[in-house]
Amino acid sequence: MINHTPDHWLAVAREAARIAGEHLLNPAKDGRAVITDKQRDVKIAADVSAESIILNYLQEHSAFSILSEEKGFMARSDPRWTWIVDPLDGSLNYMRGIPLCCISIALWKDNEPFLGVIYDFPRKELYAGIVGKGAWCNERVIKPSEVSKRDKAVLCTGFPVNSDFSSENLTAFIQQIQHYKKIRLLGSASLSLAYVASGRADAYMENDIMIWDVAAGLAIASSSGCSLSVRNGNKPHSLHIAVFSRSFE
């Protein structure tokens, strides 16, 4: 890693997230202006401005490639390592003043999670994790819950923007979730994973979710000790994922 430690790169991701978070807390007058509104996917000006802040910081402080929601893939001199960035996960929540949104920055090595940062800037909660070392929220160690049965578990899930809302698929979705005690749809995959990693929820599942929505959350959930299942999705850069506090009965 060019003679730098994982802690160094975690600090880089944290600082990039903090700078962008301050910007999003004090946006320009047009920060919530809609740029594109296609079917169920909304992009606002804040997505672009926060992304610019994060990418500029990462490019200044590393030579790693970057995959970002808005800019796509940017190859650089060290191909084994890739930053994966969602500058504003929960754009519609942010636009409507619902305080369930965050910044997601991950570093993956050889297509595997290595470390991640999720900054819940409305609450000033910064989740971080290094795979194999540990996970934290504002420097406090976090762990998943002790829940191991579906009928006792709180499941976070959602409908990605490219979901099929046919009656057949919605019925299959209900059959998949109906055995959980409670269901929560936060509108932010990143926060959902942070909540599972820290014990606020017990499981997260979503199909065809885009990798930038979950890259940091998967790193943090793995770091905290969660059980992960990750498969390639049906769309480019999408994943089928299931994350549990532990192996469920």
pLDDT score at 125: 98
> What is the pLDDT of the chain when averaged over all its residues?
92
The model's confidence at residue 161, banded by pLDDT at 50, 70 and 90, is confident
At residue 171, does pLDDT exceed 60? yes
> pLDDT tens for residues 66-109?
999 888 899 887 778 999 999 999 999 999 999 999 999 999 99
pLDDT score at 29: 65
Q: Of 247, 71, 66, 39, which Cα lies nearest the Cα of 159? A: 39
CA distance 25 to 20: 9
pLDDT score at 128: 98
> pLDDT tens for residues 189-205?
999 999 999 999 999 99
At residue 230, does pLDDT exceed 90? yes
Three-state secondary structure string covering the chain: CCCCCHHHHHHHHHHHHHHHHHHHHCCCCCCCCEEEEECCEEEEHHHHHHHHHHHHHHHHHCCEEEEECCCEEECCCEEEEEEEEEEEECHHHHHHCCCCCEEEEEEEECCEEEEEEEEECCCCEEEEEECCCEEEECCEECCCCCCCCHHHCEEECCCCCCCCCCHHHHHHHHHHHCCCCEEECCCCHHHHHHHHHCCCCCEEEEEEEEHHHHHHHHHHHHHHCCEEEEEECCCCCEEEEEEECCCCC
Average pLDDT over residues 96-124: 97
* Half-sphere CA count of 9, side-chain side, radius 13 A: 24
At residue 111, does pLDDT exceed 70? yes
pLDDT score at 79: 79
pLDDT score at 1: 56
> pLDDT tens for residues 204-214?
999 999 999 99
pLDDT score at 247: 82
pLDDT score at 78: 77
Kindly list the structural domains of the chain, giving each domain's residue range(s) and its CATH number in brackets, ordered by start: 6-141 (3.30.540.10), 150-244 (3.40.190.80)
At residue 123, does pLDDT exceed 80? yes
CA distance 40 to 158: 13
**More confident call, 72 vs 222:** 222
Q: Are 70 and 41 in contact (CB under 8 A)?
A: no
Question: At residue 113, what are phi and psi to the nearest 5 degrees?
Answer: -60, 135
Report pTM.
0.94
At residue 226, does pLDDT exceed 90? yes
% of the chain exceeding 70 in pLDDT: 96
At residue 152, does pLDDT exceed 70? yes
% of the chain exceeding 90 in pLDDT: 76
At residue 56, does pLDDT exceed 70? yes
pLDDT score at 3: 57
